[in-house]
Structure 1
Amino acid sequence: MTEERNNAQQELDSQREAETVEEIFAEKDASEQSGNIPAQEEEQEDSTEQKIAELESKLEEADNRYLRLQADFDNFRRRSRIELEASAKYRAQNIITELLPAIDNFERALKMDVDNEQAKSLKQGVEMVYRSLLDALKNEGVEAIDAVGKEFDPHLHQAVMQTEDETYGPNIVVEELQKGYMLKDRIIRPAMVKVNQ
């Protein structure tokens, strides 16, 4: 009886397997006829292509953002270097600007005529201090602007008067009323001049 039971069980299992295999083939045939499998594969391919396109666009955007940041950083570094160089180059500009009126006063004092020995020695002392100041300014890169006999240049000269002098050509500086100074390539104070018409 057990053997019959086993045989019956095996037959039942074989039948179930056959039915399952038939169902699978039937479903496959039905789906092939209706075109579901290729449609699903196309949908998967389309969604995969969309994901790839999205990822590529995100990567390109990230690359562009990186390149912009790199360019901004390079520009910042270059500007900082230029500002630092300018700061070192013109570090003495403020003190020089403050000293110019004192130098003007020294020049006025040196133009005075003296008649006794005590005044002459005082004038010599003033002249020594004046030359020391000019040497210190020269060491920092300060130079006086040449004016008399030169053609008027509005960048270097400030015309405060005009005159008619036949010994000079037109637009030539005839007289310097106040010296002008340059620090390296920067004008600190333009020369105040009288210009021939």
Structure 2
Amino acid sequence: MLAEEKTTQNEELEQNASELQEEVVEEVFEEVQAEFSDEETLKAAESKIAELEAKLENEANRYLRLQADFDNSRRRARLDLEAAQTYRAQSLVVDLLPAIDNFERALKMEATEEQAQSLFTGMEMVYRGLLEALKKEGVEAIESVGSEFDPHLHQAVMQVEVEGTEPNIVVEEFQKGYKLKDRVIRPAMVKVSQ
């Protein structure tokens, strides 16, 4: 709706500028033709021509500024729409992460009975289905253990000395971190070597 209004405004401005230019040319031509013999009148006509040309240039500059404003607003709207489409699933992903964490904790338990094992198998299938759906939306887990600590991706909750390990290396992950496309949704909670 805004784009249509701006386009209509631009068309009106173009038409007004064109009409104004025609009026200026006609007016100047008539004045010069009527009183061409008089030198004083000729100077007045030249002055009027200069005044009208300045007015025409001012209107043309105004039109160009309006056109630039319209282009900028259209570009901003397009960028906002692209960002909204790219990160549309972010709030849903944030709400699902605690459920995924609970699935991971439950799947770490060992089942001894056959009935419990079939329940675990079903839970594992649901868990994989959730991860696959998130992956389709662009969500991926942040790989932490063994990588260098990155404050943009990791949240260090502990520091320990580990023999044979360089400083600032993630040695244990307490909670997985996740990214949605290029945006960190939740940093990984990790233990880092000193």
TM-score interval, smaller chain: 0.7 to 0.9
Q: Displacement, 1:126?
A: 1.1
Q: Deviations over 1:31-78 (max 9, x none)?
A: xxxxxxxxx934323322221121111111111111111111111111
Task: Give the Cα–Cα distance (whole angstroms) in 2 for the partners of residues 163 and 59 of structure 1.
Answer: 75
Q: Displacement, 1:90?
A: 1.6
SS at match of 1:46: helix
SS at match of 2:38: helix
- Is residue 114 of structure 1 aligned with residue 148 of structure 2? no
Runs in 1 of length 4+ with deviation above 6 angstroms?
none
Task: Give the Cα–Cα distance (whole angstroms) in 2 for the partners of residues 75 and 52 of structure 1.
Answer: 34
- Is residue 62 of structure 1 aligned with residue 59 of structure 2? yes
Residue identity opposite 1:44 in structure 2? T
Task: Give the Cα–Cα distance (whole angstroms) in 2 for the partners of residues 167 and 66 of structure 1.
Answer: 69
Q: Displacement, 1:167?
A: 3.0
Task: Pick which of 99-108 and 183-192 moved more.
Answer: 183-192
Q: Deviations over 1:60-117 (max 9, x none)?
A: 1111111111111111111111121222222111111110110011011111122222
TM-score normalized with structure 1 length: 0.75
- Is residue 189 of structure 1 aligned with residue 181 of structure 2? no
Residue identity opposite 1:111 in structure 2? K
- Is residue 154 of structure 1 aligned with residue 151 of structure 2? yes
SS at match of 1:128: helix
The alignment yields a C-alpha RMSD, in angstroms, of 1.5
SS at match of 2:129: helix
Task: Pick which of 47-56 and 100-109 moved more.
Answer: 47-56
Change (3 A) 1:126 1:167: farther
TM-score normalized with structure 2 length: 0.76
- The structure with the largest alpha-carbon Rg is 1
Structure 1 spans left out of the alignment, 5+ residues:
1-39
What is residue 14 of structure 1 aligned with on the other side?
A: none
Percent identity over the alignment is: 70
